[in-house]
């Protein structure tokens, strides 16, 4: 990755200081990244933080100036842990002594030197590494001038992202440890993402070190374009060659749950909100994917960076670069056929959109509009005709929208009958436009119907209210006219404690809504229910007050073979429940003439009977011989009447 010039120049302390030189660490055994204990990390981080707090204003000024001059190139600024005082940074002599926690003195060259370092992670555009390092040289001169003025207590060095990746390829992971332990002063999102990856890698290695072949990163992270919202793409390759008790699929399944759990923990530990996408492969599948030219694996090998490798990833990458990893004839054939398969799948998708999606997207809302009008959802074939009957004829909807629905229904039918086998994208677009127009119009229609239905329900509620108030006043023999019903109800019913005062509040709300002509349908339904309940209470109170219980209007009749009928004899009408033992028995309604004879027979129902009885305020019909004769004709000659049963 890095040019030869870079590492030769790195020996010159006045010109370059590479990250590996910044904080020497003991060699790790078997390629494992060196680590400090958590206690050591905590102590170093705390010391660095305390020092940073003491020079906060200067550090902020330095950061602002650097990120202003090198806005596009600066990826992050990290304050590194203090380095051990072992040798002079200028002459290399070991004759050094510690002045304080962050400063040492060399007795050989009689000079002081800093032990606290700041690393600037940068990325320059360039056709090659030589051009990038040239730009870095120029930037370093300006950075050191700014650092000398703003932060003379700290050694400030810069490092290219390419250098970091080159160290990773060579198995030198010290730089990753430094980034993990350092205090981040500025970050475009790259440093935090890299820190999270490093923490996650350590957790995975600690748990599965024996089996981890490679831990690599990819995506925007390796390109230096990661932000605080970017996903962190990581790849873990597990050696399954000695696993004999389970399949590769089972192994991946077991590992995935553990490793994904570690991913969320590492993000929290790094203090970043980036989502970590972890791809887990077993070694045998990885090799098969390489042979079959899996595009994901090829991309990983081409662009990926190993944060840990046991000697597999780097050779694979090199072989791919040299063109020595080539797909098998079977893989080539599969890739060639994939194009036609994609086209066929696209045709199937378009066909499915035409047959199903447009059909349900228009039919269901159309049925919903009819349901809002009180019409049960019709059969698909009947829906256009029902729309014309209830929506077009009433002026609520234009004919062209019914035609759109008919066209879509016909399209589905043509596919089902084989008249049409395929449909092109242009035609799909036309149907899509029509569907959008249809749905937009139906949205407006829903508002129209809702407004119309609200007005209708308010009118019905208001009429029911006036009817109930009028009935209660009639029961009390109070004279009134249509203009003063509410006033008379308040004076003669509420004032006399025959109705709850809440009834007046309800009356006021219903009258206001009816006058305004709009309201919420749920509130209207609630008001209707409450009005009905309060009206029934009023009727009961008035009857109790007048001593006229409902039972006084009813007599029972036994007739035929053990049949029983209930007979309601009211002032000028009568109702007969023909057989009380049957739930579906007939109920007949009669007029009562002046002789008490039951005439003008008509069918009735329980609902009508309840409404009439609840509001009845007159006197029961006198039971005459004509009445009894009528009952014999209606029921049977052997009818027996029981009063009060």
Q: Per-residue pLDDT tens for 391-430?
A: 999 898 999 999 999 999 999 999 888 888 888 889 999 9
The verdict on 304 and 359 lying in the same domain is no
Token pair, residue 334, equals 């599969």
3-class SS of residue 24: coil
- Residue 93 included in any domain: no
Q: Are residues 58 and 173 in the same domain?
A: yes
Q: Domain boundary at 493, 511, 546, which?
A: 546
* Residue 128 pLDDT: 83
Q: Are residues 216 and 262 in the same domain?
A: yes
The last residue of a domain, from among 292, 327, 362: 327
In a domain, 90, yes or no: no
Among 148, 164, 187, the domain boundary falls at: 187
Are 72 and 23 part of one and the same domain?
Answer: yes
d(C-alpha 282, C-alpha 212), whole Å: 9
Q: Is 412 helix (H, G, I), strand (E, B) or coil?
A: helix
Do both 157 and 215 map to the same domain? no
Strands (E), 194-321: 212-218, 232-238, 276-282, 305-309
pTM value is 0.51
pLDDT at 353: 87
Identify whether 340 is part of a domain: yes
Q: What is the pLDDT of residues 550-604, one digit of tens each?
A: 666 788 899 888 889 998 888 788 999 998 888 788 999 999 988 889 999 999 9
Q: Residue 394's domain spans which residues?
A: 332-423
Residue 437 has pLDDT above 90, yes or no: yes
Domain membership flag for residue 595:
yes
Is there a single domain that holds both residue 55 and residue 162? yes
Name the domain count of the chain: 5
Is 526 within the bounds of a domain? Answer: yes
Same domain, 216 and 312: yes
**Residue 317: inside a domain:** yes
List the beta bridge partners of residue 78: 119, 184
Residues 159 and 227 in one domain: no
In a domain, 46, yes or no: yes
Contacts of 460 (CB under 8 A, 6+ apart): none
Do residues 565 and 598 both lie within one domain? yes
Q: Are residues 242 and 285 in the same domain?
A: yes
Q: State whether 323 and 409 are in the same domain.
A: no
pLDDT confidence of 443, banded at 50, 70, 90?
very high
Cβ atoms of residues 76 and 190 within 8 Å: yes
Give the model confidence (pLDDT) of 452-496 as tens digits: 888 888 999 999 999 889 888 888 888 888 888 889 898 888 888
Please state, in angstroms and as integers, the Cα–Cα distance from residue 336 to each residue in 218, 327, 328, 333, 530, following that order.
Answer: 27, 12, 12, 5, 72
Q: 30-44, 55-69, 111-125, 399-413: which has the highest mean pLDDT? A: 399-413
> What is the rounded distance in angstroms from the CA atom of residue 207 to the CA atom of residue 4?
37
Q: Residue 222's closest CA among 196, 192, 190, 195? A: 190
Instruction: Indicate if 352 and 381 belong to the same structural domain.
Output: yes
pLDDT at 553: 74
Query: Of 101, 105, 80, 76, whose CA–CA distance to 90 is shortest?
Result: 105
Is residue 85 included in any domain, yes or no? no
């Amino acid at each position: 990755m890095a040019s030869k010039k870079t590492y030769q120049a790195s020996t010159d302390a006045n010109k370059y200081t590479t990250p590996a030189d910044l904080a020497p660490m003991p060699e790790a055994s078997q390629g494992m990244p060196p680590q400090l204990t958590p206690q050591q990390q905590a102590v170093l981080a705390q010391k660095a933080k305390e020092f940073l707090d003491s020079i906060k204003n200067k550090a902020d000024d330095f950061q602002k100036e650097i990120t202003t001059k090198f806005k596009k190139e600066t990826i992050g600024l990290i304050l590194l842990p203090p380095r051990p005082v072992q040798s002079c940074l200028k002459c290399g002599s070991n004759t050094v002594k510690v002045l304080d926690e962050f400063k040492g003195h060399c007795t050989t060259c009689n000079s002081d030197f800093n032990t606290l370092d700041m690393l600037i992670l940068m990325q320059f555009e360039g056709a090659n590494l030589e051009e990038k390092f040239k730009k870095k040289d120029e930037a370093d001169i300006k950075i050191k001038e700014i650092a000398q003025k703003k932060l003379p207590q700290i050694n400030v060095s810069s490092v290219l992202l390419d250098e970091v990746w080159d160290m990773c390829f060579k198995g030198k992971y010290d730089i990753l440890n430094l980034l993990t332990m350092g205090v981040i002063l500025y970050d475009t999102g790259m440093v935090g993402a890299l820190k999270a990856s490093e923490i996650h890698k350590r957790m995975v290695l600690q748990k599965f070190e024996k089996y981890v072949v490679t831990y690599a990163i990819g995506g925007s992270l390796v390109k230096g374009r990661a932000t605080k919202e970017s996903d962190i793409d990581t790849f873990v390759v597990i050696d399954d060659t000695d696993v004999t008790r389970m399949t590769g699929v089972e192994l991946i399944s077991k590992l995935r749950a553990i490793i994904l759990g570690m991913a969320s923990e590492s993000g929290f530990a790094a203090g970043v909100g980036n989502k970590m996408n972890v791809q887990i492969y077993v070694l045998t599948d990885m090799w098969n994917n390489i042979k079959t030219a899996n595009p994901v694996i090829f991309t990983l090998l081409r662009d990926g960076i190993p944060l840990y490798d046991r000697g597999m990833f780097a050779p694979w990458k090199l072989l791919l670069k040299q063109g020595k990893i080539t797909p098998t004839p079977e893989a080539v054939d599969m890739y060639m056929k994939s194009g036609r398969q994609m086209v066929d799948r696209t045709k199937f998708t378009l066909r499915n959109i035409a047959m199903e999606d447009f059909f349900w997207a228009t039919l269901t809302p159309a049925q919903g509009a009819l349901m809002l009008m009180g019409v049960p959802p019709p059969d698909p074939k009947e829906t256009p005709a029902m729309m014309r009957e209830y929506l077009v004829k009433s002026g609520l909807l234009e004919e062209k929208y019914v035609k759109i629905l008919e066209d879509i229904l016909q399209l589905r039918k043509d596919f089902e009958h084989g008249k049409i086998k395929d449909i092109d994208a242009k035609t799909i677009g036309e149907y899509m436009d029509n569907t959008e127009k249809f749905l937009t119009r139906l949205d407006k229609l829903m508002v129209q119907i809702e407004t119309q239905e609200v007005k209708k329900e308010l009118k019905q509620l208001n009429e029911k209210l006036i009817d109930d108030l009028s009935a209660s006043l009639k029961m009390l023999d109070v004279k009134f006219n249509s203009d003063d019903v509410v006033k008379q109800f308040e004076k003669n019913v509420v004032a006399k404690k025959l109705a709850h005062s809440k009834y007046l509040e309800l009356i006021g709300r219903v009258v206001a809504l009816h006058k305004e002509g709009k309201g919420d349908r749920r509130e209207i339904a609630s008001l209707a229910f409450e009005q009905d309940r309060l009206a029934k209470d009023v009727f009961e109170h008035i009857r109790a007050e007048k001593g006229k219980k409902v039972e006084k209007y009813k007599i029972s009749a036994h007739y035929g073979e053990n049949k029983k009928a209930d007979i309601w004899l009211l002032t000028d009408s009568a109702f007969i429940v023909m057989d009380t033992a049957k739930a579906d028995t007939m109920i007949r309604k009669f007029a009562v003439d002046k002789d008490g004879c039951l005439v003008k027979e008509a069918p009735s129902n329980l609902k009508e009977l309840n409404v009439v009885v609840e509001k009845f305020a007159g006197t029961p019909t006198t039971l005459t011989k004509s009445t009894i004769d009528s009952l014999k004709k209606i029921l049977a000659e052997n009818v027996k009447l029981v009063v009060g049963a």
